[in-house]
Amino acid sequence: MLIGVFDSGIGGLTVLRALRQAWPGHSTIYLGDTARVPYGTKSRATVVRYAHQIADHLLAEGIELLVVACNTASAYALEELQGLPVPVVGVIEPPARAAARATRTGRIGVIGTSATVASGAYERAIAALAPDATVHSIACPLLVPLADEGWEGTDVAREVARRYLEPWLPGRPDRPDVVVLGCTHYPVLRDALAEVLGHEVTLVDSAETTPRAIAPLLEGASTEPEPTHRLILTDGAVGFAATTRRWIGEPAPAVEVVDLEPQGSGQVRR
């Protein structure tokens, strides 16, 4: 099966990597919208439009399953993408399910982009699975550029995380026992986040939970002896390509660059 995976940028590579490890017999196409990242500060209407453009591009490439490996796009556009002719899977339900299962105190924390937190998507997903749980969310927008820069193991990353997560530190009344890393960049920062929160707090993320969630969709699909893997970005700046190689592990496929908004396609929206 050819699996399409997309993200606003390169964070979704954490999901791609986990998918490829879990399902090695399937081909993948990853599209990172590096020309328009971040999505986390944009409006629902813009994110939905971008998600449709990407889905159309990947459908034209022949994908048979679409994984929306971006929490922001999953929060804002998943419902809108359900009408596509292939199954579409987001990255919010799988960690929400894992969090609902793991909590003992019923206090679940969620961190994500401003858009993901504003959307309330995790609150809704968790409420459907664990109606008695309370969910407290914190937007952590500065964590994304830190991960992109490769600063995940630095004191700066730990200090930024500490500032954001202050309401959840030991002794605070809202301290959760499970925290959802609700952004596909955050698995890269897992060690720093665990250090700040304390190792007794369980961390769950989209990368570790999504591969299992697509199992029913892959059942019966034939595997390929030599699956292929393509990486497409909408901007091929050197930094993105270098981080892509670092995150995906070797050997990384060559990066292809596409333009999803060809010249002349612009229209004035009123």
Residue 113 or 244: the one with the smaller Cβ distance to ligand DGL is 113
Find the shortest distance in angstroms from Cβ 209 to ligand DGL.
14
183 flagged as catalytic: yes
Alpha carbon 165 to chain centroid distance? Answer: 20
140 flagged as catalytic: no
DSSP of 101-143: HH-SSSEEEEEE-HHHHHHTHHHHHHHHH-TT-EEEEEE-TTH
**Does position 234 bind ligand DGL by CB under 6 A?**
no
**Does position 144 bind ligand DGL by CB under 6 A?**
yes
Cα angle: 180, vertex 183, 186; to 5 degrees: 80
**Does position 14 bind ligand DGL by CB under 6 A?**
no
N residues, the chain: 270
**Does position 39 bind ligand DGL by CB under 6 A?**
yes
The window from 32-40, 52-60, 149-157, 240-248 that contacts ligand DGL (CB under 6 A) reads 32-40
Q: Which of residues 28, 184, 202, 234 is near ligand DGL by CB under 6 A?
A: 184
Q: Cα(166)–Cα(156) distance, rounded to whole angstroms?
A: 15
The window from 23-31, 70-78, 190-198, 262-270 that contacts ligand DGL (CB under 6 A) reads 70-78
Query: Residue 202: beta bridge partners?
Result: 178
Which of left, alpha, beta for 91 (phi over 0: left; psi -120 to 50: alpha)?
alpha
Which of left, alpha, beta for 226 (phi over 0: left; psi -120 to 50: alpha)?
beta
**Does position 98 bind ligand DGL by CB under 6 A?**
no
Interface residue list for ligand DGL (CB under 6 A): 7-9, 11, 37-40, 70-72, 113, 116, 144, 183-185
**Residues catalogued as catalytic:** 70, 183
